[in-house]
Each structure stands twice: as C-alpha cells, then as structure tokens.
A and B are shown apart, each in its own frame.
Chain A
C-alpha cells in the first residue's frame, strides 16, 4: 500500500511539472511593422511588447504600447501617433487568441512547430478577428516564436489622407518575434 501511494505521489509530482501545464511570459517581444508605398517605405520597431501564453489551454496574448514604436524620423513618429493611430486616445494594441492545434506544439521536444493562431486584434479602439500562422522553436529549455502577417489599415478606422496616400500603404506587414518565453 505504502509503495502504491509512493508511486502515485511521484507520478502526481511529475505531472505537475510537465511543460504542457506551464504558463509562459515574455516582456521583450519585438513587434515591427512595414509599409511599402510608391513614394516612401516606412518601418517602425517596438522591443518591449508583452506576451503571455498558456501551454495547457493554448491561450496566447500580446499587448503593446503604441508610443513605444520608434521611427527613424521624428516627423513620421509624430504623424503616426497624432494623426493615424491617435495613441493618446488608444495607447495600447492587444491581441487575444488561441492556438487551434495546441497538441502539435511539443514543448518538451526540440524542433520547429507551425501552429495556427486564431483570435482578435484591438487596434485604434477597433476589435477585429485576426488569424495567422506562427512558428514556435523549441531548443532545450528555450521557447521562442515568430509570426508574420498583414493588416488592412482601413479595417481599424485608420484614415490616411489622400494627400499622403502615395506614402502609406493600405496593408501593413506586421512581424512579431518572441525571443524567449520564460516559464512563469
């Protein structure tokens, strides 16, 4: 009897520590966006976005502060914040979603895992469904992830005046890079 209890206890302890049960967090997520237009190419980077991910439920979230996006040119940063995205009114962009095939993601085995993420993106005060493919890389204890997708500017009520239409593209490419998820 004692032996059975002992074994059950050990099994219980092991199950508690399986990677699938863990919550992960990263405070240095890099989010970049790129706009290619006839007259101008715009790019901007934010290196302090936040992401939380629950391996057992597949829930994944991203939050980013709009004012943290850095541009080469001050004028571009000012136009972006004041006119297009109105960051004083809407300081954050948030994505909340789930990994559709969490079983495909084997966090205890080295490899690259492609997953489908489905959820909603809130930007400029507007929430829209957003789906994208993401790639998780597991190397030893390191879990990192990348996603690359496009967003239509008009979907989020972001108005580009016709005067500068040749300078800002209608769809913007967004690249998300999670350098390392830490277990939480």
Chain B
C-alpha cells in the first residue's frame, strides 16, 4: 500500500513540474520567426496594393495579421544602422507600395540585394496606411 502511494505523489509532482515548465515557456515565448512558418497567401506586390486600394475593409479581412509571401521589384531600401531595414516594393513612381520591415534577426540578408532587383519576402500584414505594411519580414529569394 505504502509503495503505491509513494509512486502516486511522484507522478503528481512530475505533472506539476511539467505543467510549470510549459507555462514558463509559453509566458516567455517570443514571436515566431517567419522563416519557420509557411504562408498560404502568395501574391505580387502590385496585386496586393490593388486589393487594398480597391477595398481596404475587404483586403483587411483577407490579409490582416496573416503571413503573406509577396514578390516584387525593390523600389527603395531604407537601412538604419542595420537594425531597422525597410524594403519598399513597387515602381519608384507608384503612389502606394508594399513596405516591408525586416525581422530584426534577418537584417543582414538585404546586403545581397539592390534597388531594381526582384525579391520575394514573407511578412505579417499589418494593414494599409500610405503603403501596404508588412513586418517581421524574412527574405525567401
């Protein structure tokens, strides 16, 4: 009888410890790196801008908060001390572009690219201001 009770307590203790560790990990979890996430939505930069220009509410329903793979020409690269890197996709004269803020852990990847290059990025759609805004972006190719 005593034997079984001891095991009972140990199992309970193990469960409590595992639950505690899980809660601790979950509490400290950082936002997922998008290079490990797949995106169902693949669209051209021009196509994405047109969707938001035509009907912002509808576009928000489709894209807001979701990971999107967007392809386009680099119109501009804004690199602030390698910590804040923004890539604008579209043609230089376009009024609205797709503005992609690179994930802080992936800012070095832009060094291989220049204005005019074709690029594919994956980022989370934040919505539409002057441009369609994506953040936590990673370069796919």
| Chain A residues near B (Cβ < 8 Å) | 27-28, 47-48, 50, 63-68, 70-75, 77, 81, 87-88, 91-92
Contact = CB atoms under 8 A, between A and B. Distances in A.
Interface stretch (B2-10, B21-29, B42-50, B67-75): B21-29
> What are the 4 tightest A-B residue pairs by CB atom distance, in nearest-first order?
A67-B126, A65-B126, A65-B127, A68-B126
B30 interface: yes
Interface string B14-36: 00000000000011111110000
B78 A75 contact: no
A92 B80 CA distance: 25
A91 B129 contact: no
Contacts of A50: 129-130
A interface SS class: mixed
A74 B65 contact: no
Given A65-B129, A67-B126, A67-B127, A74 B29 contact: yes
Interface of B: 26-32, 60, 64-65, 78, 80, 84, 86, 99, 101, 124-131, 133, 135-136
A68 to B, nearest CB: 4
5 contacts: A48-B86, A48-B135, A67-B65, A73-B28, A91-B60
B133 A73 contact: no
Contact of B124 (A67, A71, A73): A67
A69 B136 CA distance: 11
A170 to B, nearest CB: 23
B30 A74 contact: yes
A66 B124 CA distance: 12
Nearest to A68: B126
B133 A91 contact: no
B129 A74 contact: no
A63 B60 CA distance: 16
A65 B136 CA distance: 14
A143 B68 CA distance: 35
B31 A77 contact: yes
Contacts of A81: 65
Nearest to B135: A68
B28 A88 contact: no
B86 A28 contact: yes
B127 A28 contact: no
A28 B78 contact: yes
A73 B30 CA distance: 5
Nearest to B30: A74
Contacts of A27: 99, 129-131
B90 to A, nearest CB: 14
